[in-house]
Each structure stands twice: as C-alpha cells, then as structure tokens.
Amino acid sequence: MDKLRITGGRRLSGSLRVSGAKNAALPILAGTLLTDEPVRLANLPHLHDVTTMLELLGHLGAEVLVDECMAVEIRAREMQTLRAPYDLVRTMRASFVVLGPLLARFGRAEVSLPGGCAIGARPVDQHLKGFEALGARIDMADGYVIAEAADGLRGADFRFDLVTVGGTENLMMGAALARGTTVLRNAACEPEIVDLGNFLNAMGARVRGHGTPEIVIDGVERLHGCAWRVMPDRVEAGTYLIAAAATGGRIRLTDVHPGDLTAVLDKLAESGAEIATGPDWIELDMHGRRPRAVDIDTAPYPGFPTDMQAQYLALNAIADGTSHVTETIFENRFMHVQELNRLGANIELASVSHAVVHGVPRLKAAPVMATDLRASFSLVVAGLVADGTTVIDRIYHIDRGYETIEEKLQTLGADVERISG
C-alpha cells in the first residue's frame, strides 16, 4: 500500500490548475446512461472513483472511449445488464446514482446497497422514497435494491425529508425522462447539482430551478448526445488554499469558480489570509503569519462544506486561539482527530459532532494513518507544518479524491514523496 512521506516546514508557494470536480463528474457519468447517443466529456479528473464509475458503465454495457486528449466518449446504446453489482458499488457510494438513469430509460434497475467512506450510516431511504413517488416499485433482495417502473416513471411532487446531494441528483436524472412534471422540494443546492442540471439540459432535458431548493423538471421522451466540460473541483481548490494558509504561504489557483467557495474564502479571511479573486482564479497570501482560530459549522451549500471540515480542523490545530468545529452533515466524521493529536495537536471531542480545538504553535512528525478521503488530507496539512518527517499510511483514501497529490504539492514547493509498496 502506498504511503506519503512529508517533511514539514516549507511554505507552499506557486500556481496550480484545479482539476475537474469528482463530485460533478460522477453523477454526470451516470447521466450518460440516459441516452443511446454518444456523450463526450472533458475535464474529468484522473481519479480512482472516476475509473470505478467508468468500469461500472462498461459493465452495464456502455462503450467507453478515451481519446489522446483524455476526453472520454461514452455511448450507452444497449445494456448488457441492468444490475450494478456489489463489487463495484461497495467501493463507491456515488455509484448508487446509476439507479435513476437506468430506471428512467429501461424501466428496471438492480443496484447493490452502497458502501463508500466510513463516515456514518449514510442510508439511501430518500432516494427510494423519491422513486416510489415517481411510481416505481422498490423491493430489496440479497443486499440489492430492485426498482421497477415497467410503464416508465411519472412526474410527481416530492419533498426530501433532509437535504441530500446524491438523492437530488438521482431523482433529477430519473425525472428527466418521466412522463409529466416533477417538482423536487428541499433539494440540495450544491454547485455540482447546477452542473448536472446544465448537463442534462445540454442533452435536451427540461430542468429549471437547479441551484435552488425547488427544482422543476418537465419530463421529455428522449435525450440526445452532447459534449460537456465538467466544472472545477471546489473541494480540491479549498483544500489547497487551506494547506497554503497553514504553511503561511502564498498560492494562485487557476481554472476555478471563486463563487462556489464563498463560505471557505470567508473563513480563510477570518483566519488572517489576504484573498483576491478574478473570474476564474483565486490568490491567497498568508504573509508567513500564524492563522487565527475560527469556528466552523458544516452545513449544506451555501454553508461551510463538510468535505473541507477535516482540512480546516488541521489549520485550526496550529492556529492562535481556541475554536469550535461542529459537523452537522455526517455522524462519525472526526476520525482524523485522534491522528492529528498523535502529531501533537490538542483537540478534544466534546461530542460525536463537536470538536474543541486548542491551537498549538507547533506540531511534531509521527507515523499516521489515513481514514477517509477528506480526513486524510488533514494529515497532509498537518504533515506540511510539522517538525520532521511524517509518513501517512493508506493513502489510497486520498487518491480517491485528489489527482496526483504529490506532484501538485511538489509544484508548490512541498517536500513530499510517494512511497510505493
């Protein structure tokens, strides 16, 4: 298993192009199942999760072509099977979003109950309730969800009991080919939902209100092929900004939408960073200063993203002062606290959802272990500022979400190396 060796103490400095967004790419890839025509996708990040989704599409019967510019063309002409197997869905919860497209286009889908990051129970009850509202019959057998709508899905008015990103995406895709109009209430407003809605519209769907809590979808009979460029990854962008701030550094990110990162940029400014933005770039300069402690409460978009909580916790760990970090989206998303404390941080878990961070001036290198995707990057942030050499084990978690992490960090001047084996 690969490890990452980081010797701390260097200020990050330089310019970085942000990759395409994993969390937009995955539902968009699933959305290619909605048409029998070719769909061409650009700016897909080279990540394990994307490969897993491509493998799943191939398993279902789609033809997947990768060209010399790394653009991917997918054509889901005929399916070999409508069953998404445990082996593929287990490793990545996001693959559950193939259910909507398969059900809408073919009237049936069998999808294994998902696995994914070990951050809480993460049920799919809202997805299933939504498809029932759209007229599907849902059964469970041997760990699989069996969904059927022999005469197709029909539009309905559905309200989510809680805000779910994957649930909203799954239902949007199902409703795109349903008979009549669907209204999704209490829908997620994340920028990735907007990207998916715009992508569906480029295929001929009639989606409006995406990016607000009320999405209206007029079902159409068929969708056609299109070319689409996946939006920039706001989580990757925010992560590198936080890492740069922790080291007192200065970076410029390009190919990014600053408007998608408002909550994070506001917090970084509170922490003491000087920030400038343009239409597709962000500059952060910490002027070598120690960050100030700031409180964080995660919330659905436009609130502070849960996917950047762990990284910010690491920043707060070396900040001047005490801060409170509250996680409201997932239970059990503080697994990194124990590892950060091994590096000399002073973080108390006041409850399963609330950490009190007493900032310390220095961290000290130690061997640590990655636990889940985003939590792992908090260890990278800590390693970048710790005295000595930190070795992070199990970095396959990081590789699920961060493209060529060691190369990107090296570009910014970090002393980082991947140890294979």
Q: Which residues are catalytic?
A: 117
Question: In which order are the strands placed within the sheet that holds 274-277?
Answer: 13-17, 250-254, 281-285, 274-277
Among residues 47, 72, 136, 165, which is the contact residue for ligand UD1, using CB under 6 A? 165
Tokens of 208: 């409006």
Q: Which range binds ligand UD1 by CB under 6 A, 30-38, 165-173, 241-249, 260-268?
A: 165-173
Task: Report the residue number, 403 or 415, with the smaller CB distance to ligand UD1.
Answer: 403
In the complex, the smallest distance separating the C-beta of residue 314 from ligand UD1, rounded to whole angstroms, is 17
DSSP H/E element including 126: helix 125-133
By the rule CB under 6 A, 127 interacts with ligand UD1:
yes
Among residues 63, 67, 78, 125, which is the contact residue for ligand UD1, using CB under 6 A? 125
Q: Which range binds ligand UD1 by CB under 6 A, 159-167, 213-221, 319-327, 363-371?
A: 159-167
Asked if 309 and 298 touch (Cβ cutoff 8 Å), the reply is: yes
Q: At 63, phi and psi to the nearest 5?
A: -90, 130
By the rule CB under 6 A, 164 interacts with ligand UD1:
yes
Among residues 118, 162, 227, 349, which is the contact residue for ligand UD1, using CB under 6 A? 162
By the rule CB under 6 A, 124 interacts with ligand UD1:
yes
Q: How far apart are the first and last CA of the chain?
A: 5
Amino acid, res. 399: D
**DSSP-assigned beta bridge partners for residue 163:** none
Q: Which range binds ligand UD1 by CB under 6 A, 83-91, 120-128, 347-355, 407-415?
A: 120-128
Amino acid, res. 283: E
State how far the Cα of 33 lies from the Cα of 98, in Å rounded to an integer.
Answer: 8
By the rule CB under 6 A, 66 interacts with ligand UD1:
no
Contact string 20-39 vs ligand UD1 (x = CB under 6 A) = ---x--x-------------
Asked if 284 and 241 touch (Cβ cutoff 8 Å), the reply is: yes
Asked if 333 and 306 touch (Cβ cutoff 8 Å), the reply is: yes
Q: Which range binds ligand UD1 by CB under 6 A, 9-17, 116-124, 200-208, 241-249?
A: 116-124
State how far the Cα of 27 lies from the Cα of 94, in Å rounded to an integer.
Answer: 8
Among residues 152, 166, 197, 238, which is the contact residue for ligand UD1, using CB under 6 A? 166
By the rule CB under 6 A, 41 interacts with ligand UD1:
no
In the complex, the smallest distance separating the C-beta of residue 156 from ligand UD1, rounded to whole angstroms, is 17
By the rule CB under 6 A, 418 interacts with ligand UD1:
no
Asked if 228 and 27 touch (Cβ cutoff 8 Å), the reply is: no
Asked if 128 and 97 touch (Cβ cutoff 8 Å), the reply is: no
- Window 187-206: residues binding ligand UD1 (CB under 6 A): 192
State how far the Cα of 239 lies from the Cα of 242, in Å rounded to an integer.
Answer: 5
Q: Which range binds ligand UD1 by CB under 6 A, 119-127, 263-271, 280-288, 382-390?
A: 119-127
Task: Report the residue number, 123 or 321, with the smaller CB distance to ligand UD1.
Answer: 123
Among residues 306, 311, 353, 371, which is the contact residue for ligand UD1, using CB under 6 A? 306
Tokens of 147: 């969904």
Pick from 96, 232, 101: which is nearest to 166 by CA?
A: 96
The contacts of residue 141 (CB under 8 Å, 6+ apart) are none
By the rule CB under 6 A, 330 interacts with ligand UD1:
yes
Task: Report the residue number, 228 or 330, with the smaller CB distance to ligand UD1.
Answer: 330
Task: Report the residue number, 193 or 243, with the smaller CB distance to ligand UD1.
Answer: 193
DSSP string, 185-205: ES----HHHHHHHHHHHHTT-
Among residues 30, 56, 76, 94, which is the contact residue for ligand UD1, using CB under 6 A? 94
Total chain residues near ligand UD1 (CB under 6 A): 22
State how far the Cα of 100 lies from the Cα of 219, in Å rounded to an integer.
Answer: 13
Asked if 58 and 94 touch (Cβ cutoff 8 Å), the reply is: no
In the complex, the smallest distance separating the C-beta of residue 386 from ligand UD1, rounded to whole angstroms, is 26
Q: Report the residue closest to ligand UD1, judged by CB.
A: 166
By the rule CB under 6 A, 122 interacts with ligand UD1:
yes
The contacts of residue 165 (CB under 8 Å, 6+ apart) are 23, 188, 190, 192, 193, 300
State how far the Cα of 100 lies from the Cα of 117, in Å rounded to an integer.
Answer: 22
By the rule CB under 6 A, 378 interacts with ligand UD1:
no
By the rule CB under 6 A, 126 interacts with ligand UD1:
yes
Q: What is the distance, to the nearest Å, from the Cα of residue 96 to the centroid of all Cα atoms in its chain?
A: 14
Among residues 29, 149, 329, 343, which is the contact residue for ligand UD1, using CB under 6 A? 329
Q: At 138, phi and psi to the nearest 5?
A: -115, 125
* Site residues (vs ligand UD1, CB under 6 A): 23, 26, 93-94, 120-127, 162, 164-167, 192, 306-307, 329-330
